[in-house]
A = this chain, B = another copy of it.
């Protein structure tokens, strides 16, 4: 890693070192709310965009440049890793991802293989190399993947879900099958995310976007060992941001699972959460994304409240509590970055 990257605002904060102002990046910052992104998406589908390294790199780099964020996040999707593992994935128009051969039984598990040849995800690593070459030399690139639970729930439900009936039923009633599936996903994710780092990422975020549907006891029993093994299996020299949304009661367990930085959604008070997690870990978050629809004065007050909750403590990375939505006003997203940089000085 170059000195410029090592001393970047984002990576200093991830190591809980003092910074001139609070760093910010935004989940789904290269998304549909940006005119520059829509111009690319007018020509290709979501999955084509994910699989075209030149285009994925273009939208990643453009978003960082347009917004002035302190890090770029690779444009990619959580689910393509499931394809070389044997799942038939389709992005149906207007419907979100569908898996045509979901895993419901111990027998179905025979169809799920570990990712052994990471070359099958080469389009991702090529995009990483192109982004790294095209980004300013002091802007880190964040790689990412789904956490084992979130990928398992997609693989089992066959798509998005409201109640996670199949997932939880397997977990509760067929725990051996569940753990075997989680083990294969975890091993695959270790290889996939390690290869992202080797291709040029300076940090990794693990997204457990759906684990908020679990009780603490179930998270501890069925999820924590796998997420912990994943994080322990990643290269030691890049920080891991461990992010989960939807259940503040899981935060102490998320901390146990690991990561130099814990990603907070907006459901929790950042000050209280950080005190509970301990100051030997960084925190990322946690503006309610819907704040971006309000007028700029209101937005500014709400940004101030998040910064105040962090008390200027080294180790805070500003972000939304979840991703930008497609119809958010892009001027407000840009203004948010400026506000954080202006008000986060210390």
**Chain A residues with a Cβ under 8 A of chain B:** 163-165, 168-169, 172-173, 212-218, 246-250, 266-269, 272, 288-291, 293-295, 298, 302, 305, 325
Contacts and interface: CB of A to CB of B under 8 A. Distances in A.
Given A168-B293, A173-B294, A212 B302 contact: no
A173 B269 contact: no
A139 to B, nearest CB: 29
26 contacts: A163-B289, A163-B290, A163-B325, A165-B325, A168-B290, A169-B293, A172-B290, A172-B293, A173-B293, A173-B294, A173-B295, A173-B298, A212-B267, A215-B266, A216-B268, A216-B269, A216-B272, A218-B288, A246-B267, A247-B248, A247-B267, A248-B248, A248-B249, A249-B249, A249-B272, A250-B267
A172 B215 contact: no
A67 to B, nearest CB: 21
A166 to B, nearest CB: 9
B267 A164 contact: no
A179 to B, nearest CB: 15
Contacts of A165: 290, 293, 325
A214 B268 CA distance: 9
Contacts of A298: 172-173
A243 B181 CA distance: 35
B169 A290 contact: yes
Q: How many copies does the complex hold?
A: 2
A302 B215 CA distance: 12
Given A163-B325, A248-B248, A248-B249, A215 B293 contact: no
B163 A268 contact: no
A312 to B, nearest CB: 19
A216 to B, nearest CB: 5
A288 B247 contact: no
Contacts of A163: 289-290, 325
Nearest to A173: B294
A288 B172 CA distance: 11
B295 A215 contact: no
B248 A302 contact: no
Q: Which of A168, A212, A215, A295 has the most CB of B within 10 A?
A: A215
Contacts of A168: 288, 290-291, 293
A143 to B, nearest CB: 27
Contact of A215 (B164, B215, B217, B268): B268
Q: Which of A168, A246, A266, A290 has the most CB of B within 10 A?
A: A290
A298 B298 CA distance: 49
Contacts of A169: 290, 293-294
Given A165-B290, A216-B272, 17 more contacts: A165-B293, A165-B325, A172-B291, A172-B302, A173-B294, A173-B298, A214-B267, A215-B269, A216-B268, A217-B269, A217-B305, A246-B246, A247-B247, A248-B248, A248-B249, A249-B268, A249-B272
B164 A290 contact: yes
